[in-house]
Amino acid sequence: MKRQMLDMKENEFNALILDERDNIVVLTKDVKEGDVLYSSNHTKMVEVRDAVPKGHKAAAVFIPKGKSIIKYGESSGIATKDIEPGSHVHTDNVRGLSEEERQALRLSMNGEEYR
C-alpha cells in the first residue's frame, strides 16, 4: 500500500485536541488512509486508518469496546467496537449513553447520592 504522508509545514496541523483528557481528536482537514495526524501542539500523532472528513473525529489512542469516547474531557458516547488509533470515530462504532449511564454519571459527583 502506498503511503501518502501529508507534507505539513512547521505551524500546520490537521487534528485539534479539545481537552488533554480526550481520547479523540477533531480533524481540521480531510484526511485519508495513510496520512499522519498532526495535533495542534505540532506533534506527530498516529497514522490514519480510514478516510475521515474535516470536523469529524479520529481515535488518538486505542479505545476498547464499552469504554467512553472522551471529548471536552467528558463522556460523549460509548464505543460499540474496539477502536484502533487513527480510526474514524462515528455512528458505526459509537452509541449514545443510556438513561442509566447518564444517571450514573450524574450521581458520581463527590461520591454523593443525588437522587
Tell whether residue 15 is a contact of another protein (CB under 8 A): no
Tell whether residue 86 is a contact of another protein (CB under 8 A): no
Q: Which stretch binds another protein (CB under 8 A): 13-21, 43-51, 59-67?
A: 13-21
Tell whether residue 51 is a contact of another protein (CB under 8 A): no
Q: Which of 40, 49, 62, 82 binds another protein (CB under 8 A)?
A: 40
Min dist. Cβ of residue 33 to another protein (A): 18
Answer for the pair 9, 32: CB distance below 8 angstroms, yes or no.
Answer: no
Tell whether residue 55 is a contact of another protein (CB under 8 A): yes
Toward another protein, which CB reaches closer, 5 or 12?
A: 12
DSSP labels for 54-66?
A: TTSEEESS-B-TT
Total Cβ atoms within 10 A of residue 70: 19
First and final C-alpha spacing in the chain: 55
Q: Which of 11, 20, 64, 100 binds another protein (CB under 8 A)?
A: 11
Q: Which of 33, 47, 50, 56 binds another protein (CB under 8 A)?
A: 56
Q: How far apart are CA 35 and CA 32, in angstroms?
A: 6
Question: In angstroms, what CA-CA distances link 46 with 8, 34, 36, 104?
Answer: 14, 10, 6, 33
